[in-house]
Amino acid sequence: MTARFSLHVRLFLAAILSVACGLVVAGFVLSTLFEQHVVRQAETDLGAQLDGLVAAVDVAGVPYELTRTPTDPRFHVPFAGRYWQIEMPDGRVLRSRSLWDEKLALPSDELNDGVIHRHAIAGPKGQKLLVLERAVFPPRSDGAIRLAVGMDRKPIHEATERFRGMLALSLGVLGIALVAASVAFVRLGLSPLRRLRQSLAEVLDGGRKRLPETFPGEIEPLARELNHLLDRNDEALERARATAGNLAHALKTPLAVMNNDISQLGQSGVAPDTAGRLAEEIGRMREQIERQLAAARAAAGIGTGRTAVAGEAVENVMRALGRLYPDLSFRADVPDVAVFAGDRTDFEEMLGNLFENACKWARHTVKVSGRVEGRELVLCVEDDGPGLPAEERTRVLARGVRLDERGGGQGFGLAIVADLAKLYGGTLRLDASALGGLMAELRLPRR
C-alpha cells in the first residue's frame, strides 16, 4: 500500500471511525440514561418510605413520638443498606435498627416545610448513601422535625455496571454488523469504478476497443470522455503510422538508386575505394532508417489495445520463409493461449528477423517453441547449425554486426529485435540450442 490510501481504504476507515464514534456516544448516553433511571427509581422508593415515616410521627402531644416504625426488613438488619433517622426539636434522635450505634451526618442546610432535599453522604461501614430529607414544623413548636431516609448506592452502581456490560456486548455485536454493512456498502458503491478499471484493462489488453457507457450517472460522463480520448488516440496513431510508412518509402527508393549507381561505379573501376566507402555509408543510413522507423512504429503501438496470436504469426512467418528455404524443415510448438500484447506487425517483424538468422545457419532444421510464464510470452527460435561461442552472443546484438558475414543484409536484424523487445518491456537472449546450434529466447508481455 502506498502512502496515499486508496479510495476504498479511505471510505472503509471513515466508516469504521464513524461507527466507532457513534457507538461510543450511544453507549455513554444510554449508560447515563439508565443510571439516571435507576436513581430516579431509588428516589421514588425512598420518597414513599419518607412519606410513611412522616405519617408515623405523632405531633399531637409533647414530646413528639413515633407511633410505628417502617416495615421494610432492611431497616431492622444492622448495616443492611437502608436507614432512617428522625431529629426532634428537643434534641432527641430516633434511628433505624440498621444504623446500630451510628448516626447519619446530615448537612446543616436550611429546610422549608415539606421541601425534600437530596444528599450524597457517607454512611456506616464506609457506605456511600443516597439520602432524602424533609422537615416538618409541628404546631406549638419553634423547631423543626428533620426526617431522613437513606440507602446504600452500591446496588445502583452494581445495576449500572451490569447494564454497561450487557450494553458493551450488544454494541460490540452491533458494531461488527455495522462494519460488515459498511464494507458491503463501500464495495457496492465503488463497484462501478472497479468495472471501469476492468474495462480499461480490457482496452489495454486488446479485449475491447471502447469502454461501455452503461455506468451510473456520476461515472458515465467519465467513460464518454475516455472513449473520446481513445478515438482521438487511434486517429493520431494511424496518422503516425501512415507518416512512418511514407517516410520509409520516400527514403528507401533514393537510397536504393544511390546504392545501385555506386555499385555500377565500383564495377567500372572508377574510384573503387570511394565507391566501397559510399556503399558502406549508405548501408549504415539504411540501418538507421529501419531501426528508427521500427522503433517509432512500436512506440506508437504500445498500449493501444492491439494484440497478436503467437501461433498464427509463427505460421505466417514460416510459410513465407519456407518458400525461400525449401530444403529446411520447420517445426513449431506454440500454445493457443500464447497471445502477444502488442502490434501484430511488430511481432511478425521480430519473428521474421529471428527466423531469417536461424535459416542462414541451419543445416536441416529450424524449430520454434512457445510457452507462457506468468504475464510473459516466451518464444525460442533454434537451429541445428554450428552455433555461436558464448563470448560472441552479446556482440552480435550490437548494431551492424551479422551472424553470417558472407550473407546479405546490413546486419541489423537482431539489433532491431532487441530494440523492439525492449520498447515493449521484453528481452532478447542468445544461448546454445539443444539441436546443436543457436537459440534465441524472446520474452514479451502477453495478454
Task: Phi first, then psi: give them for residue 238, nearest 5 degrees.
Answer: -65, -40
* C-alpha cell of residue 57: 410521627
Pairing type for strands 128-136 and 117-122 reads antiparallel
pLDDT at residue 90, as a whole number: 84
d(CA 371, CA 378): 5
Instruction: Using the predicted structure, report yes or no on whether residue 229 has a pLDDT greater than 60.
Output: yes
Instruction: Using the predicted structure, report yes or no on whether residue 323 has a pLDDT greater than 90.
Output: no
pLDDT at residue 447, as a whole number: 73
d(CA 45, CA 39): 10
**Percent over 70 (pLDDT), the chain:** 83
DSSP string, 388-446: --HHHHTGGGSTT--S-TTSSS-S-HHHHHHHHHHHTT-EEEEEE-TTSSEEEEEEEEB
Query: Helix, strand, or coil here: 13?
Result: helix
Instruction: Using the predicted structure, report yes or no on whether residue 269 has a pLDDT greater than 80.
Output: no
DSSP string, 320-332: HHHHH-TTSEEEE
pTM (2 decimals)?
Answer: 0.53
pLDDT digits (tens, 9 = 90+) for 178-213: 999 988 888 888 888 888 888 887 777 666 777 887
pLDDT at residue 405, as a whole number: 45
pLDDT digits (tens, 9 = 90+) for 329-369: 888 888 877 788 777 778 888 888 888 888 988 999 999 99
Are the CB atoms for 191 and 11 separated by under 8 Å? no
pLDDT at residue 10, as a whole number: 85
Q: Name the one residue in this structure whose C-alpha cell is 478499471.
A: 197
pLDDT digits (tens, 9 = 90+) for 367-393: 999 888 888 889 999 999 888 888 777
pLDDT at residue 310, as a whole number: 80
pLDDT digits (tens, 9 = 90+) for 417-426: 888 888 888 8
pLDDT digits (tens, 9 = 90+) for 82-100: 999 999 888 889 999 999 8
Provide the residue type at 115 as one letter: V
pLDDT digits (tens, 9 = 90+) for 103-128: 999 888 777 767 889 999 999 988 99
Q: If you count DSSP H runs as helices and E runs as strands, how many of each does the chain have, helices first?
A: 8, 14
pLDDT grade for 287, boundaries at 50, 70 and 90: low
d(CA 146, CA 112): 10
> How many Cα atoms sit within 13 Å of 182 on the Cβ side?
19
Provide the residue type at 230 as one letter: L
Pairing type for strands 329-333 and 365-373 reads parallel
* C-alpha cell of residue 271: 574510384
pLDDT at residue 333, as a whole number: 87
Instruction: Using the predicted structure, report yes or no on whether residue 300 has a pLDDT greater than 60.
Output: no
What average pLDDT does the chain have?
82
Listed residue (101, 86, 27, 92) closest to 63, CA to CA: 92
Please give the average per-residue pLDDT across 253-259, as a whole number: 71
d(CA 148, CA 126): 18
| Range ranked top by mean pLDDT from 270-274, 289-293, 371-375 | 371-375
Provide the residue type at 284 as one letter: R
pLDDT digits (tens, 9 = 90+) for 389-410: 887 777 777 655 554 544 444 3
